[in-house]
Amino acid sequence: MKAFVYQRADSATQAAAAAVKPGAKIIAGGTNLLDLMKLQVETPSALVDINRLPLDKIEETRDGGLRVGALVRNSDLAADSRVRQRYGVLSRALLAGASAQLRNKATTGGNLLQRTRCYYFYDVTKPCNKRNPGSGCAALAGFNRIHAILGTSDQCIATHPSDMAVAMRALDAKVETVNAEGEARIIPIAEFHRLPGKTPEIETTLKSGEIITAVTLPPPPPGVQVYRKVRDRASYEFALVSVAVVIATDGKTITSSRVSFGGVAHKPWRSIDAETVLKGRPANLSTYRAAADAAMSKAAGKGHNDFKIELAKRTLCRTLADAAHTSNGRQS
Amino acid sequence: MDEHESTIEPNTIEITRRTVIETGTTALLLTTLPRAALAAGPVDDNEPPSPAVKVELQINGSSHSLTLDPRTTLLDALREHLALTGTKKGCDHGQCGACTVLIEGHRINSCLTLAVMHDGQSVTTIEGLAEGEKLHPLQAAFVEHDGFQCGYCTSGQICSAVGMLAESRTGAPSYVTADLTQPQPELTDAEIRERMSGNICRCAAYPNIVAAIKQAAGIST
């Protein structure tokens, strides 16, 4: 690990002012950042510890939603009774991620900002446009079984590893930030994460020094919420494919839906195409298949990850079928 | 072994034949490296060190003041600066759970956090669970059910189980909880396995670990 100066922030604005300096990084839970620092993938010259800031509350909003402080731990958010009652898809997604020890540390803001688990990003001896812009992408012609099938570029095929963000994308969460001047901003989660394009090193629309203070959840959309994660082992593993679904029916016909995928793109992948197909159609397997085909119509693999296209389709069909027969985010 | 090691002064570890036998070759190799190498990950000894930080930790009920390179993980602070070697270093990347300790009663991976981030907080390690000669119920249950073979993951398993049972008592759900709205999910075998998935046992003593945890939790097997 490279040497750094350790600082503790007393306010979010002060933290933003410290973080705007070149080489400075904010640390909250640290479960991803410290791992990357040990490998010298990240080499900050200053660490700004924000753990003492009062950003650890979950509050009701006036419109019937919830405002989740940036430092609320993943375990606390998943276990919150309001989240379990009203946002089951978020609770389930959080519980699907990492281990209990990591969830006790990892924060809401940090989870959104975690880096890809692409092996070539982690291996400093390999080219990686995300870690070392312009050096190339070793995953394109390398082992790319875990890599993206949607929204990729010729510079990067990494995926965003979060489960939480996939549920938040389905719920249309908003990210609240503050900068060094104390100016607040609200970023819809749809606009928060970026696709790799020509600049895969830029992963979000946060500006330099801008820090996350909270994530707000609008009132829950109508319908049943389900999160399903498919991975190489039953627990404590990143998704090959995951799906967050919210679906409402009048008994026979689908009246509204939200469909969001994890493990398939550089950001949590909302599929408006699938939602368009589902609306007004009968809740049956042929509808689900049509929605899955629409969701993956632009998907393309790079060899080892070709299977993800069919896997994502089948996972969506199964999840939609589950949602039609279960309640409260229960996963069968 | 714990008793012997606890007499070692931090930063002045002397190598005797007995220590070598008891701590093993890995520990011996570590003591021959520069002190900075004990900070996490590769270190360039030519670069200027990080400004030192003062850290106060309440470990197993006792107050400890340390002056540390801020790169020092909580795990390295415990093992290398306080000679509390009950907490094990497995992968050092948050993937195995061998380093699990409790911060203010909550289980975490001590390898993925800096000691300085916990200034003023309480830390419970495996050394802090027994009351004198009386084993913690989870320790006793692990012995009774052979919840280990090589034993390297055991202190992490036990600390994790202590945290897990506390979480369960608050009604926390897990990924396999069928109904997230139920206030107090039952600790079935599947629940215990999911909730303990952050602790890997390469000897695969899992059935016995589950049995030990059930006994300590008062669940009939």
Contact B174 A102 (CB under 8 A): no
The band of A251, judged by pLDDT with boundaries at 50, 70 and 90, is: confident
By CB atoms closer than 10 A (0-12, 13-18, 19+), residue A228 is buried
Reported as a single tens digit per residue, the pLDDT across A123-153 is 999 999 999 999 999 999 999 999 999 999 9
Q: Quote the pLDDT of residue B216.
A: 98
Give the span between the Cα atoms of B215 and B209, in whole angstroms.
10
| Measured CA distances, A269 to A78, A165, A170 (Å) | 21, 10, 9
Contact B180 A328 (CB under 8 A): yes
Question: Average pLDDT, whole number, for chain A?
Answer: 96
CB A7 within 8 A of CB A50: no
For the sheet containing A174-178, what is the strand order?
A58-60, A66-69, A211-217, A174-178, A184-188
Reported as a single tens digit per residue, the pLDDT across B86-134 is 999 999 999 999 999 999 999 999 999 999 999 999 999 999 999 999 9
Q: Quote the pLDDT of residue B147.
A: 98
CB A35 within 8 A of CB B39: no
Burial pattern B8-34, b for ≥16 Cβ within 10 A else e, equals: eeeeebeeeeebeeebeeebeeeeeee
Q: Quote the pLDDT of residue B50.
A: 84
Q: Quote the pLDDT of residue B20.
A: 43
Q: How far is CA A288 from the centre of its chain?
A: 24
Report the residue of B88, B117, B165 to disrupt the A interface, i.e. the one with the largest count of A CBs within 10 Å: B117
Residue A258 in tokens: 């939200």
Q: How far is CA A304 from the centre of its chain?
A: 23
Eight-class DSSP state of A69: E
How close, in Å, is residue B98 to chain A by CA atoms? 11
Provide ipTM, 2 decimals.
0.96
Helix, strand, or coil (residue B153):
coil
Identify which of A298-307, B15-24, B25-34 has the greatest average pLDDT: A298-307
Give the span between the Cα atoms of A324 and A332, in whole angstroms.
12
- For residues A87 and B8, which has the higher predicted lDDT (pLDDT)? A87
The band of A203, judged by pLDDT with boundaries at 50, 70 and 90, is: very high
Tell me the chain A residues in contact with residue B47 when contact means C-beta distances shorter than 8 Å.
2-3
- Rounded to an integer, the average pLDDT of A275-285 is 97
Question: In chain A, which residue's Cα lies nearest the Cα of B36?
Answer: A1
Q: Quote the pLDDT of residue B212.
A: 98
Q: Quote the pLDDT of residue A40.
A: 97
pLDDT above 50 for B37: no
Tell me the chain A residues in contact with residue B112 when contact means C-beta distances shorter than 8 Å.
30-31, 34-35, 102, 105
Contact A49 B117 (CB under 8 A): yes
How close, in Å, is residue A122 to chain B by CA atoms? 12
pLDDT above 50 for A221: yes
Q: How far is CA A123 from the centre of its chain?
A: 22
- For residues A321 and B16, which has the higher predicted lDDT (pLDDT)? A321
- Rounded to an integer, the average pLDDT of A91-115 is 98
Which residue blocks in A87-128 are alpha helix, DSSP H? 88-96, 100-103, 108-113, 119-122
Contact B50 A4 (CB under 8 A): yes
Q: Quote the pLDDT of residue A325.
A: 72
Tell me the chain B residues in contact with residue A6 when contact means C-beta distances shorter than 8 Å.
50-51, 53, 70, 114, 116
Q: Quote the pLDDT of residue B161.
A: 98
Contact B109 A101 (CB under 8 A): yes
pLDDT above 60 for B34: no
Reported as a single tens digit per residue, the pLDDT across B167-217 is 999 999 999 999 999 999 999 999 999 999 999 999 999 999 999 999 999
Contact B53 A6 (CB under 8 A): yes
pTM of the model: 0.92
Question: Average pLDDT, whole number, for chain B?
Answer: 86
Reported as a single tens digit per residue, the pLDDT across B125-181 is 999 999 999 999 999 999 999 999 999 999 999 999 999 999 999 999 999 999 999
Reported as a single tens digit per residue, the pLDDT across A24-76 is 999 999 999 999 999 999 999 999 999 999 999 999 999 999 999 999 999 99
- Rounded to an integer, the average pLDDT of A275-293 is 97
pLDDT above 80 for B19: no
| Measured CA distances, A15 to A2, A179, A208, A210, B89 (Å) | 21, 9, 12, 9, 32
Give the span between the Cα atoms of B166 and A87, in whole angstroms.
24
Alpha-carbon Rg for chain A, nearest whole angstrom, is: 19
The band of A267, judged by pLDDT with boundaries at 50, 70 and 90, is: very high
Among the ranges given (A100-104, B3-7, B140-144, B197-201), the one the predictor scored with the smallest mean pLDDT: B3-7
CB B148 within 8 A of CB B212: no
Q: Quote the pLDDT of residue B45.
A: 57
Q: Quote the pLDDT of residue A240.
A: 98
pLDDT above 60 for B4: no
Question: In chain A, which residue's Cα lies nearest the Cα of B177?
Answer: A330
Tell me the chain A residues in contact with residue B175 when contact means C-beta distances shorter than 8 Å.
92, 95-96, 235
Indicate the helix (H) or strand (E) that contains A275: helix A272-278
Contact B175 A31 (CB under 8 A): no
- Rounded to an integer, the average pLDDT of A269-280 is 98
pLDDT above 80 for B48: no
Q: Quote the pLDDT of residue B206.
A: 98
